[in-house]
């Protein structure tokens, strides 16, 4: 685990108050510690400025997301307490002050924001992580490839279809050359590309890619795999909507 996360777990800075988890042995679990002594304590004490500063400290929130785990309900409640608009502007500023070697904590928080549908915040955090991982690990590293795909999803959800298409194509090309067709991540990107092309009206190419992705999913992952079912759903929706009009 990266050092910022470990620091946040053991030694939390709450505004002017410094608290060490080891001082409260019954609350050494970070989720219980945060709830009892941390963010909620500050909010209930009307110390909103201190709570906001803590919520905008990216390594701390990365530790929080990892500690609570999916579906990240507790961090979501924390962010709602200060408002996602404030979180957006806060991360836009704090990302510039983040240790340049730290690309893991923006990835963790950005992935949460993406799952939560907060694409503006996700774009800031994942964009930073992608830039840093590309320079440190290279564009063909599996972690970098995941971020390229996530950026494509963000651009698609924000309505930037052409930018999303370029990222999907880039992601698939790199995954095919480095991970191969049989990799689950490659298949997921292939399905996402097909679905995106369908939305853009490129029906023939979308059909070809989704049929290919569906065949590979069934062969490699099995017919009951969630990725297989999702891909088949994309293809079925395309055929139901356009039928014989696909040429």
One-letter-per-residue 3-state SS of 199-212: HHCCHHHHHHHHHH
C-alpha to C-alpha distance for 209 and 224, rounded to whole angstroms: 20
Residue that is written with structure tokens 């961090």 in the block:
75
pLDDT on residue 219: 93
Q: For residue 56, give the nearest of 19, 24, 14 by alpha carbon.
A: 14
Q: Are 210 and 231 in contact (CB under 8 A)?
A: yes
CA 47 to chain CA mean position, Å = 30
Structure tokens at 14: 């709450």
**For the chain, how far is it from start to end, CA to CA, in angstroms?**
51
Output phi, psi for 74, to 5 deg: -65, -50
Name the token pair of 79: 């962010």
Instruction: For residues 14 and 8, give the distance between their C-alpha atoms in angstroms, rounded to a whole number.
Output: 11
- Reference 117, options 82, 71, 165; nearest CA is 71
SS3 20: strand
How far is CA 9 from each of CA 19, 51, 98, 111, 226, rounded to the nearest angstrom? 11, 16, 18, 20, 34
3-state secondary structure of 114: helix
116 contacts 70 by C-beta, under 8 angstroms: no
Dihedral sign for Cα 108, 191, 117, 148, please: positive
The HSE-up count of residue 35 (CA atoms within 13 Å, CB side) is 13
According to the model, what pLDDT value does residue 21 have? 37
- What per-residue confidence (pLDDT) applies to 246? 74
Give the pLDDT score at 82.
61
Task: Please tell me the distance from the alpha carbon of residue 92 to that of residue 188, in angstroms, as a whole number.
Answer: 30
Q: Which residues in the chain land under pLDDT 50?
A: 1-28, 31, 33, 35-37, 71
Distances (CA, A) of 43 to 51, 55, 66, 74, 78: 6, 11, 22, 14, 9
Contact 33, 21 (CB under 8 A): yes
> What's the confidence (pLDDT) of residue 26?
38
Q: What's the pTM?
A: 0.73
């Amino acid at each position: 685990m990266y050092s910022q996360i470990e620091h946040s777990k053991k030694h939390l800075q709450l505004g002017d108050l410094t608290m060490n988890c080891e001082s409260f042995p019954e609350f050494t679990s970070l989720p219980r510690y945060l709830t009892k002594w941390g963010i909620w304590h500050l909010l209930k004490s009307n110390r909103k400025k201190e709570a906001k500063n803590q919520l905008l400290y990216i390594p701390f929130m990365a530790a929080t997301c990892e500690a609570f785990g999916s579906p990240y309900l507790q961090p979501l409640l924390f962010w709602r307490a200060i408002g996602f608009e404030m979180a957006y502007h806060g991360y836009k500023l704090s990302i510039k002050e983040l240790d340049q070697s730290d690309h893991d904590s923006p990835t963790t928080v950005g992935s949460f924001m993406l799952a939560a549908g907060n694409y503006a915040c996700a774009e800031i955090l994942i964009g930073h992580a992608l830039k840093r991982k590309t320079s440190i690990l290279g564009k063909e590293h599996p972690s970098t490839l995941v971020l390229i795909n996530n950026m494509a999803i963000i651009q698609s959800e924000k309505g930037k279809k052409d930018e999303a298409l370029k990222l999907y194509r880039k992601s698939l090309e790199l995954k095919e050359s480095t991970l191969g067709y049989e990799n689950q991540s490659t298949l997921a990107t292939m399905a996402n590309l097909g679905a995106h092309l369908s939305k853009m009206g490129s029906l023939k190419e979308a059909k070809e890619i989704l049929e290919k992705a569906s065949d590979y999913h069934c062969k490699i992952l099995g017919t009951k795999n969630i990725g297989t079912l999702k891909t088949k759903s994309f293809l079925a929706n395309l055929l139901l909507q356009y039928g014989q009009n696909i040429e």
